[in-house]
Structure 1
Amino acid sequence: MRIADEQVDGLKFRNLQAEAMVAAQNRDPERAVELLRSGLELWRGAPMEDINSVKLQAGSAHWKEYHLKAIEMLVDLEFSLHRHRMLTPDLHRWTSFYPYHEGLHCRLAEAMQASSRTAEALVVIHGLRTRLAHDLGISTGPAVEDLYHRLLHGTYRTPVMLG
């Protein structure tokens, strides 16, 4: 069977992600955002979730990592373009897909804070803290705790980049 790269969503996604990285390096964040959004639109559920193959399931972890990196890059780019508020619906979706990802939860809280929704931002961080403690028996990292305290005490300023 012969299939061109542009006929496989996963390969199209990786190509768009690579093009976005080049655009970002060339200081064209608008183009990078456009490419990443196009790539993320191809994403439907967990990769290979219905396939009973240990070997292929192991490969799905790589695809999930590509997906997460694309999301992190998109969020950083959108924040650099001061479009925090626009990201709230996307961040809600992504934090439900990655319920233990501290960086995405912080970004959601920051986006809410940018919309003068401090109480909701604190609920997001509190929910993450509770989930990590209950489900995994761990505490949040210093960046989450710092954001929580800055939000709580009204000393929040500008966001930092995810990665």
Structure 2
Amino acid sequence: MKSWDERIDDVWADAAGDEVGDETIARIDALAAERGEDDARAEFERGGARDSAGRPVEAVALYRRALSLGLDEEHRSQCVIQLASSLRNLGEFDDALDIIRAEEERSADGPYRDAVAAVHALILASAGRPAQGLSVALLALVPHLPRYHRSMTAYAREIAESDT
């Protein structure tokens, strides 16, 4: 028999490339019910299903609940990224920026640092500060470049100034 994590992964694999809707939500909810409503991971998955179905208000509440219940580090980072993204979709830019900036500090060397930077850039762009968003994206890209670290860092910082 497959583990709970494997069955969750199967639901997401089945939904890949498709529009997520009520069927996926129902499948995730059924699996989440196995773990109970006080299980952080179950609440996180429920939030993700709603987020993927274009229901950010519902997702935000579930993400916040999952975080308050306590997630392991990997899922906590994912939850924070998804929460900030959902808040961006709702136009709650200040809250989204506070959350994503705190995550940048907390997991500066973590495996999701580039995803954090991408969401940070999107939030800034959506908030009417596209040059600052471009700067964040460029600064995240710099470590992946074979050369030009100093000049690209300087350009990125210069670009950010144009939004102020």
Scaled to the shorter chain, the TM-score interval is 0.5 to 0.7
Note if 1:106 corresponds to 2:81.
Answer: yes
Note if 1:90 corresponds to 2:65.
Answer: no
Deviation at 1:43, TM superposition (A): 1.6
- 1:23 and 1:29 in contact (8 A); partners too: no
Note if 1:126 corresponds to 2:118.
Answer: no
CA distance in 1, matches of 2:73, 2:93: 20
Structure 1 pair 152–81 and aligned structure 2 pair: CA distance change class (3 A): same
The aligned residue for residue 142 of structure 2 is none
Deviation at 1:123, TM superposition (A): 1.0
In the alignment, structure 2 segments of 5+ residues that lack a partner are 134-164
- 1:19 and 1:35 in contact (8 A); partners too: no
Note if 1:33 corresponds to 2:25.
Answer: yes
In the alignment, structure 1 segments of 5+ residues that lack a partner are 47-63, 157-163
Over residues 119-143 of structure 1, what are the superposed CA-to-partner deviations in whole Å (9 max), with x where a residue is unaligned? 000111122122225xxxx255222
- 1:91 and 1:104 in contact (8 A); partners too: yes
Over residues 54-101 of structure 1, what are the superposed CA-to-partner deviations in whole Å (9 max), with x where a residue is unaligned? xxxxxxxxxx9xx58x828x61x4334211221001111233424554
Higher relative contact order (CA 8 A, sep 6+): 1
Deviation at 1:18, TM superposition (A): 7.6
CA distance in 2, matches of 1:149, 1:19: 31
Structure 1 pair 17–143 and aligned structure 2 pair: CA distance change class (3 A): closer
Structure 1 pair 151–34 and aligned structure 2 pair: CA distance change class (3 A): same
Note if 1:115 corresponds to 2:87.
Answer: no
Equivalenced residue count is: 121
The aligned residue for residue 124 of structure 2 is 152
